[in-house]
Structure formats: C-alpha cells, structure tokens
Amino acid sequence: MNTVLKINGLSKSYGKVKALNNLSLQINLGEVFGILGPNGSGKTTTLGIILDVLKADSGTFSWNGKSPTKFTRKKIGALLETPNFYPYLTARQNLSIVCKIKQVDESDVDRVLTVVNLIGRANSKFKTFSLGMKQRLAIASALLGNLEILVLDEPTNGLDPQGIAEIRTIIKDLASQGKTIIMASHILDEVEKVCTHVAVLKQGNLLTSGSIHKVLNKQEQVYVVADDLNLLKACLRQIEGVNNITSTSNKVYLTLMEGKDTAYLNKCLFDKGIILSELGVQKSDLESNFLELIK
C-alpha cells in the first residue's frame, strides 16, 4: 500500500488555544480521505500545515515518503478557500492567469473546464457565475497540471443542494480516476457520500480514524426483550461491555464494546436467570455514531 501523506505528531497553538494536539495520520494512494469535525476542530489548520501555508509548532509530515519542498507542493492541487478570481475576466482568462503562475501549459484550461462541466461557460465573465459555478471554477484551478493529489477545504460550504450535488459528482469522478483526495468538512452527509476513509477531530484532538464503515458504522445497536424489563435493565448494567442502555415500552436497547457479541450477552443474561424472548441487532445510523464520538 503506497502512502501518499504521513503526519507524525503535529501540534499547533494560537496563543492559549490548542488548534492541533499531537495529530498523527496516514493517507494512502487512491483514498478519498475526509477530515471530519465540528467548526474549530483543527481541520483547516491541518490542511494549512500540510500545504506549507502554516508552520506547525512541533511534529512532521511527508508527501510520498519525502520531506516537503516547494517542488512537492507544486504537485498538489489545493482549494483552501474560495480564490479571488478577476470578476471582469472570463473563466478561461482567469485560468490562463493561474497557468502562468503554476507554470502549466495553457492547453490544459479546456480540459479542466470540461472536468467541472464549465466548458460551455468558458467565455463568460466570472461575475456572472453562481456560487456553485464559482466553486467549480476553483476546483478547475486546483486541477490544472493534471495533478494526482487534491486537497479541498469545505468544498461545498455555502452551496445550495444542487451545487452540493455538482461538487459531489466531480469528486466522485476524480476519485474514479485514481486520484487521492483529502477533504475537510463539518458536514457528515458530505463525507459519508464521497469518502472512503475518515478521521474525526474535536478541539485539535484525533478521536478516531479509518475506513468510513469502521469509524462511523462500526457499532451495532442490540435490542432485547424479556418478561420483566426493569429486571432486565438492572442485570444489563452489571454485565461488562454493555453500554448506552435505553428502553421503550417493550424493548431495551444497548451497544456492545468491541470483542463482545450477542452470544456473549445472551449467556450472561441466562446465567443471571433472564430468559430473553427476543434478541436482535440493527445498525446505528451514521449521525448517531458521529454525535456519540464528538459529544
């Protein structure tokens, strides 16, 4: 497995505020890696450091196994914030200027405009673009040079549902070409729909990371039924590995820690004299798992 980005112990403070606290991550070739967390969790700081816009107080990172240099940076397409294109120039003219800055052949302009579905508006002035179109042009700018790594900070921020869907489609299409995409977002639905892997941050601390399925859908909610629900709940509280006990009028719900399964639960209850009339499993929804992580 080829490692594209390796982060070791990054920390960054702004005065007394700890923006990042000893962050370590590994992102591999071809992954769409989401950095997820509420506002102020350290997502943008992380991206700023790995793009050499900010300097970390401590820690290191490497791209493709090499220490970062200005030449490494040129091989990474980035969208840290909505860029300031010239309002009275066309999309093509604006991208031509970016080509000169990036030292990229201007023949690449039409390719990236096609990728973001703006080729039909190539000669329209930037000031006539909707917010979603402006964001697509920003992604086109990041793609100039046919780069294999793309870093996006809140790419759908402020967009309407149609604009969000357009950006999501672009990201999926780029991922299907084998590009490695690193994307920060505070929107769970956005990350869940496009990312293969995710890291969850809160107040500068890494809570967990891994595949989307492992991180956000790893817990299964177990429900149990017995004749005496009050006695059932009392017994459940005495069993190691049983968490998050809740109940309705006819069922008790719980989660089991890793390594414990329903057979283990059934035996523990049987040993306490509880005979279950029903035992089942249902997946917890992504939002509940995310909120449980960051609360």
Q: What structural domains and CATH numbers belong to the chain? A: 3-216 (3.40.50.300), 220-294 (3.30.70.100)
Residues in Cβ contact with 98 at an 8 Å cutoff, skipping those fewer than 6 apart: 104, 141, 144
Checking DSSP bridges between strand 242-247 and strand 252-256, what pairing results, if any? antiparallel
Q: Distance from CA of residue 14 to its chain's centroid?
A: 24
Checking DSSP bridges between strand 3-14 and strand 17-28, what pairing results, if any? antiparallel
pLDDT of the residue at 294: 65
Q: Which helix (H) or strand (E) holds 224?
A: strand 220-225
CB burial of residue 14 (10 Å; 0-12, 13-18, 19+): exposed
Report the candidate in 10, 25, 13, 60 with the shortest Cα–Cα distance to residue 182: 25
pLDDT of the residue at 74: 80
pLDDT of the residue at 219: 60
- In order of 57, 61, 269, the CA distances from 66 in angstroms are 20, 9, 55
Strand partners, 183: 34, 152
Report the candidate in 111, 162, 116 with the shortest Cα–Cα distance to residue 139: 116
pLDDT of the residue at 225: 94
Q: How far apart are CA 215 and CA 208, in angstroms?
A: 7
Which two tokens mark 63? 């791209």
Which two tokens mark 233? 């709940």
- In order of 48, 163, 223, 247, the CA distances from 284 in angstroms are 34, 29, 12, 15
Q: How far apart are CA 181 and CA 155, in angstroms?
A: 12
pLDDT of the residue at 230: 92
Q: How far apart are CA 290 and CA 135, in angstroms?
A: 27
Residue with tokens 């429900």: 223
Instruction: Give every residue of the chain whose pLDDT is below 70, as ranges.
Output: 1, 82, 216-220, 283-295
HSE toward the beta carbon, residue 159, CA cutoff 13 A: 23
pTM: 0.76
Residues in Cβ contact with 155 at an 8 Å cutoff, skipping those fewer than 6 apart: 79, 135, 139, 167, 171, 183, 185
Which two tokens mark 24? 């370590």
